[in-house]
Structure 1
Amino acid sequence: MYIAISKAAAAAFIVAAAAAPVAVAASAHAAPTSVKYYENCTAAREDGAAPIQKGQDGYGDHLDRDGDGIACE
């Protein structure tokens, strides 16, 4: 499907698009959002934090082997 527009309309669109703010998506490799970070489950257990529920401080996907939302179980 093609839409015919004038050169003036096309130029106005390009200028408006160039001036519009651009949102930047978050990186897939963003830093962990929790305040506590455990390199492994041994460290979490030594700190008395295990098991850690998803959403709790210290939870990380790298600690949840089976992906059920409970780390270091």
Structure 2
Amino acid sequence: MSEGDAGPGASPGAGEAPVQPESDSGGAYYRNCKAARDAGAAPLYRGQPGYRPELDRDNDGIACEWK
């Protein structure tokens, strides 16, 4: 394996995290805030199903909030 290899199982585009639900999301998963809004779930609060830090831009515990 050379220094440029990402390791076993690495695919082209390594370094780009695959989109996967978080284990603490309670089974709900929204790809983005538009999907959460379309589902009528937004805003999402920390600890609620579907909340992910990636959706909480200002890290205040409320994801997909309208400002």
TM over 0.5: yes
TM-score for the superposition, normalised by structure 1 = 0.56
Q: Which has the higher helix share?
A: 1
Q: Which residue of 29, 32, 42 corresponds with 1:40?
A: 32
Off by >4 Å, runs of 4+ in structure 1: none
Q: Which residue of 2 aligns with 1:69?
A: 61
Looking at structure 2, the residues matched to 37 and 57 of structure 1 have their Cα atoms a distance apart, in angstroms, of 8
User: How many residues align structurally?
Assistant: 43
Unpaired stretches in structure 1, ≥5 consecutive residues: 1-30
Unpaired stretches in structure 2, ≥5 consecutive residues: 1-20
Larger Cα-atom Rg? 1
TM-score for the superposition, normalised by structure 2 = 0.61
How large is the RMSD of aligned CA atoms in angstroms?
Answer: 1.0
